[in-house]
């Protein structure tokens, strides 16, 4: 786990072709999200043309839905919500997971036992059912969706961070820092955490992907923020009319698929770039 320069990192990342493609796709999705208000001015909820227009007709690139709303506009605006929810809920889950994992792994003993039982409990209960329950009880809004996703996403972070801290705590350079008389906070922040970052970084890109899937599933069930256009909502509204208007469900699904795939590919690239030894072991996957 030597220190890398940015150049080294990029050289290793670039070697994974899939990861480069993933990065490009992800940047395109971000670009779409950023420029949605200019590409499709006005609200995506407004009627843009006649209802049930197939793709390509009357200037509607991806067709219109049952109320004549532009599917393409919905997808572009939905990208903003998906990325936002993915990023914010991941950040919140990381905050909780890293803190709990770090305390458990560094202190060990009773704190470790208590925190790990708590984490295991959260891993046992069906996370999606819990998320549904949380959003339903706290009434659907972007806040409750982010909260629910964060609540069900932190346990894997806590486990990974705990394992890393546990192994690093026993490493001789951390013991050397103890013997030098450094404070606990300083040891955690300057000796342990920087060496535990690689798996956290890789995990977080995968968590954003999972969060986007979760958000779309909640929206699909009608648990999205009623004021915000999301990909899951688009698919959900197309479900009952799939015999009439396949495009209403197909295109938003492709948007989710591409974004989630891109994030997974980026995660693999990060993993290869941050753990060169593992990358070789995996025998040059994808």
Partner 1 sequence: MSLLSVEGLTVALPPGGDRADAIEDVSFSVDAGEILCVVGESGSGKSITANAVMGLLPKGLPVRAGAIAFEGTDLLRLGAEPMRKLRGQRLAMIFQEPMTALNPLMRVGDQIAEVLQVHGAAADAARRVPELLAAVNLPDPAAIARSHPFRLSGGQRQRVMIAMALALEPALLIADEPTTALDVTTQMQILRLIREIQSRRGMGVLFITHDFGVVAEIADRVAVMQHGRIVEQGPAAEVLNAPQHPYTRGLIAAVPHGAAPERAAITGEEVLRVTDIAKTYRRGGIFGAKAVVRAVHDADFTLKRGETLGLVGESGSGKSTLARCVVKLVTPEQGEIAYDGTNLRLLSRAAWKPYRQRIQMIFQDPYASLNPRRTVGDTIAEGPVTHGTPRAEALGRARELLRLVQLDAGAMDRYPHEFSGGQRQRIGIARALAMRPDLLIADEPVSALDVSVQAQVLALLAEIKARLGLTMLFITHDLRVAAQICDRVAVMQRGAIVEQGPTRQVFSAPQHAYTRQLLDSIPGRGWTPPQL
Partner 2 sequence: MEVSKLLGFLLRRGVKAAVVVLAIVVCNFLLVHAAPGDPASVIAGQSGAADAVFLEQLRRQFGLDQPLHVQLWIYVKSVLSLDLGFSHRQQQAVSLLVLERLPATLLLTGAAFVFAVTLGVTLGALAAQRVGKWADSLITVVALTFYATPLFWVGLMLVLVFSVWLEWLPSFGMSSVGADLHGLAVVWDVAQHLLLPALTLGLFYLAVYARLTRATMLEVADQDFVKTARAKGVPEGRILRSHILRNALLPVITFAGIQAGQLLGGSILVETVFAWPGIGRLAFEALLARDYPVLLGVFFCTSVMVVLFNLVTDLLYAIIDPRVEVAG
Interface residue list for partner 2 (CB under 8 A): 121, 123-134, 136-139, 209, 213, 216-217, 220-223, 232, 235, 238-239, 242-243, 246, 249-250, 253, 256-257, 260-261, 264-265, 281-286
182 binds partner 1 (CB under 8 A): yes
- Contact with partner 1 (CB under 8 A): which of 114, 129, 176, 278? 176
Coil, strand or helix: which one is 56? coil
Output the smallest distance, CB 189 to partner 2, in A. Answer: 31
CB closer to partner 2 out of 34 and 130: 130
Distance CA 15, CA 78 (A): 32
Contact present, 204 and 74 (Cβ < 8 Å)? no
CB closer to partner 1 out of 48 and 177: 177
195 binds, among partner 2, partner 1, none (CB under 5 to 8 A by kind): partner 1
Instruction: Quote the longest CA-to-CA distance of the chain.
Output: 75
- Contact with partner 1 (CB under 8 A): which of 62, 100, 104, 177? 177
Distance CA 146, CA 85 (A): 6
2 binds partner 1 (CB under 8 A): yes
Q: Which residues of 27-52 are buried (b: 16+ CB within 10 A; e: fewer)?
A: eebeebbeebeeebeeebeeebeeeb
CB closer to partner 1 out of 86 and 105: 105
Q: Which residues of 117-135 are buried (b: 16+ CB within 10 A; e: fewer)?
A: eebeebeeeebeeebbebb
CB closer to partner 1 out of 6 and 179: 179
57 binds partner 1 (CB under 8 A): no
């Amino acid at each position: 786990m030597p220190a890398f320069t940015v150049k080294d990192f990029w050289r290793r990342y670039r070697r994974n072709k899939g990861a480069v493609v993933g990065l490009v796709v992800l940047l395109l999705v971000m670009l779409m999200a950023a420029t949605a208000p200019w590409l499709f001015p006005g609200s995506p909820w407004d009627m843009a043309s006649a209802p049930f227009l197939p793709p390509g007709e009357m200037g509607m690139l991806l067709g219109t839905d049952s109320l004549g709303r532009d599917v393409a506009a919905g997808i572009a605006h939905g990208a903003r919500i998906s990325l936002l929810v993915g990023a914010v809920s991941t950040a919140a889950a990381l905050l909780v997971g890293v803190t709990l994992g770090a305390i458990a792994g560094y202190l060990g003993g009773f704190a470790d036992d208590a925190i790990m039982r708590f984490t295991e409990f959260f891993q046992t209960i069906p996370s999606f059912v819990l998320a549904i329950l949380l959003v339903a009880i706290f009434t659907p809004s972007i806040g409750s969706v982010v909260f629910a996703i964060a609540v069900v996403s932190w346990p894997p972070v806590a486990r990974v961070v705990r394992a890393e801290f546990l192994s690093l705590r026993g490493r001789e350079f951390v013991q050397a820092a103890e013997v030098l008389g450094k404070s606990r906070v300083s040891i955690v922040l300057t000796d342990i955490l920087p060496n535990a970052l690689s798996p956290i970084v890789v995990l977080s890109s995968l968590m954003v992907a999972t969060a986007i899937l979760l958000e779309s599933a909640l929206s699909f069930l009608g648990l999205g923020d009623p004021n915000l256009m999301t990909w899951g909502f688009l698919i959900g509204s197309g479900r009952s009319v799939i015999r009439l208007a396949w495009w209403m469900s197909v295109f938003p699904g492709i948007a989710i698929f591409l974004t989630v795939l891109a994030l997974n590919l980026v995660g693999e690239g990060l993993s290869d770039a941050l753990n060169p030894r593992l990358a070789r072991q995996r025998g040059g996957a994808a």
